[in-house]
Copies of this chain bind each other. A is one copy, B any other.
Amino acid sequence: MIMIGIFDSGIGGMTVARAVEQLLPELPLVYYGDIARTPYGSKSAATIINYSLENTEFLLKQGAELIIIACNSASSVATEALRQEFKVPIIEVISPAAAEAVRQSRSGRIGIIGTRATIRSGVYEQTIRELAPDSQVVTQACPLLVPLVEEGWTNRQETKMIIRRYLHPLKDQQIDTLILGCTHYPVLKELIQHRIGRRVSLIDSSIETAKALQRFLAHNPDLIKSTGSSPNHSYFVSDLTDAAQAMARKIFQRPVELRLA
């Protein structure tokens, strides 16, 4: 069985790891969360690329044979650099979510929320316009949502007000599809759905990425010859904090052993 390596700037990318586990439970998997340097979304492209190269090297040393960039910020700015540097397949979170948004949108009015780095890169808009040149894309950076999620403020009045402020311009533009362009945002799905309205479809980049991996493996069946043994799942982090442990438990709905890399 091919070993899947997944990295993220921190803990949010575990939503991708969990989606992969649920969809493809037989695969061995190694995760790396760069908590010591989190977050990436407010940092420069050059710094995010350096960190992504280092994270990928770590996963390859652990035996990973395919890399998932489970971070929208890193996917936005570092995918090309990783493909130039490493010959293993690289799956990122942008294209699967963009393709699903284009598939689901009827009006072609698609909204994207993400970190500053993701929105500034313009990669989602570019990918959507390549697939559907007539789309109207509306973007909004939501830099405070990651710290709110990491604090566990997932149902507070202040969080609702901040979401309202961020989503207001998207609501004005009458989008019918909204991409949750950050792996932390699925934790706020209910609040976001409530605020943007039930008629807007939310696209979860974590789930779409797991489906993209499934399609890739279906096209490459030689990679998934079963060994019959139960798969090993390891979760490494560059820093070990109580908040990270708590959030891992919340995402997986069970205790997860985080190992310091």
A-to-B contact residues, CB < 8 Å: 35-37, 42-44, 46-47, 116, 143-144, 147-148, 150-151, 153, 157-158, 161-162, 165, 238-241, 243
Contact = CB atoms under 8 A, between A and B. Distances in A.
A162 B36 CA distance: 26
A169 to B, nearest CB: 16
User: What is the count of identical protomers in the complex?
Assistant: 2
A38 B43 CA distance: 9
Contact of A147 (B147, B158, B238, B240): B147
A9 to B, nearest CB: 11
A158 B148 contact: no
A241 B144 contact: no
Interface pairs A-B: 3 shortest CB-CB: A147-B147, A47-B239, A36-B47
Most chain B beta-carbon neighbours within 10 Å: one of A35, A36, A153, A161: A36
A241 B42 contact: yes
Contacts of A150: 42
B43 A36 contact: yes
Given A37-B36, A151-B143, A44 B162 contact: no
A204 to B, nearest CB: 24
Contacts of A46: 239
Contact of A239 (B44, B143, B147): B44
Nearest to A161: B158
A43 B238 CA distance: 10
